[in-house]
Amino acid sequence: MTNRRQFLVLASAAGASLASAQTSGAQQFLAGSCAGGREAEGFLKACDEMSGLGYHYVESSGGGVRLVDVYGSNPLKLKDELDRRHMTLIGYAHYCSMADPAQRDDLIALHLRIGKTLKPLGTRYVTHLLIPPAQKAPSAMTDEDFKNFGRNVNEVGKRLREETGLRIGYHAETVDVAAGLVDRIMDAGDPRYLDLVADVGHMTAGGLDALQTCKKYGSRIITSHLRDYDPNAEYERNGQHMKGRFVPLGQGKIDLPGLLAYFRQSNFKGQIMAEGGGFGPSRDYMVQKLAITV
């Protein structure tokens, strides 16, 4: 017969297993990684490495090659390149001046070109990286700038979704977060047409609580970029002593298991994309520590 001590141990283990099952949940999101490359060859080389590690989904980096410019006349060539690597270009990131009212027609045309070029490849979303109007610092944006952003992004997002099926999400860089832009940008955009690409590393580095911010905008998050950040990491840059930097997943201060528990509990159906720290280490951390299937 099981004595009292054994019963308590077994009951505790059963309770822990149940709690784990409740917090983990079935994975309803897609997972992969962001990849850069200043030239198309560099991007495809990154895809080669990712494919060899078992990834299937990639988001092109906003600071990398403009794939739509390179393959715009023949998008099926890019599709063939990706198909050979068993990869899907799930997201496309780029910088643009969304708050400039003089560029509305150009912005609409640009995003429709992106959507029509990439939809046949299986691309789901455009990651918007902000260029403030007139090259201002983000902290110098005015109320009128935010109104102009909203007018532009609502029309761009509406046309993009209706005509191509792709969605657009705002990605805040650290400087944007520190300047308080996340709430103002999200408030400026219509929830029907502007979503959020939640980069938890930039959120944390800019002073936000990443988990609470994800909960606040949960219904509008289409993708989360997984980064880690250590505010105490010291390094040298251009002869200056710096403190606080992005680090490989699991080596910083961000509660990545807590974030993934939230995404699972909320039945998140978007994308989780690792960024930084190396494709291999990121894959190992996601698979081994977060139980993510890539």
- What is the CATH classification number for the domain harbouring 66? 3.20.20.150
Predicted confidence (pLDDT) per residue in 96-133, tens digit: 999 999 999 999 999 999 999 999 999 999 999 999 99
Q: In Å, what is the CA distance from 259 to each residue of 174, 180, 215? A: 19, 22, 9
Please tell me the number of Cα atoms within 13 Å of 95 on its side-chain side: 10
* Total domain count, the chain: 1
Residue type, 31: A
Three-class secondary structure of residue 287 per DSSP? helix
Q: Does residue 265 lie in a domain region?
A: no
**Alpha helix ranges (H) inside 122-178:** 143-164, 174-178
The count of other CB atoms within 10 Å of the CB of residue 256 is: 21
In-domain check, residue 69: yes
Q: Establish if 234 belongs to a structural domain.
A: no
Instruction: Determine the average pLDDT of the residues in 156-172.
Output: 98
**Is 66 within 8 Å of 60 (Cβ atoms)?**
no
Q: List, for residues 1-57, the tens digit of each pLDDT value.
A: 344 444 344 344 434 433 443 345 789 999 999 999 999 999 999 999 999 999 999
Asked if the structure places residue 2 within a domain, the reply is: no
Domain assignment present for residue 17? The answer is no
Is 88 within a domain? yes
Kindly list the distances between the CA atom of residue 121 and the CA atoms of 61, 92, 159, 170, 197, in Å, as whole numbers in the listed order. 17, 11, 19, 22, 20
What's the pTM? Answer: 0.90
Which residues, other chains included, contact 246 with Cβ-Cβ below 8 Å and sequence gap of 6+? 201, 205, 227, 228, 229, 252, 276, 277
| Res 13: pLDDT | 42
Structural domain containing residue 141: 28-227+270-290
CA 240 to chain centre: 30
160 in any annotated domain? yes
- Distance between CA atoms of 105 and 152, rounded to whole angstroms? 9
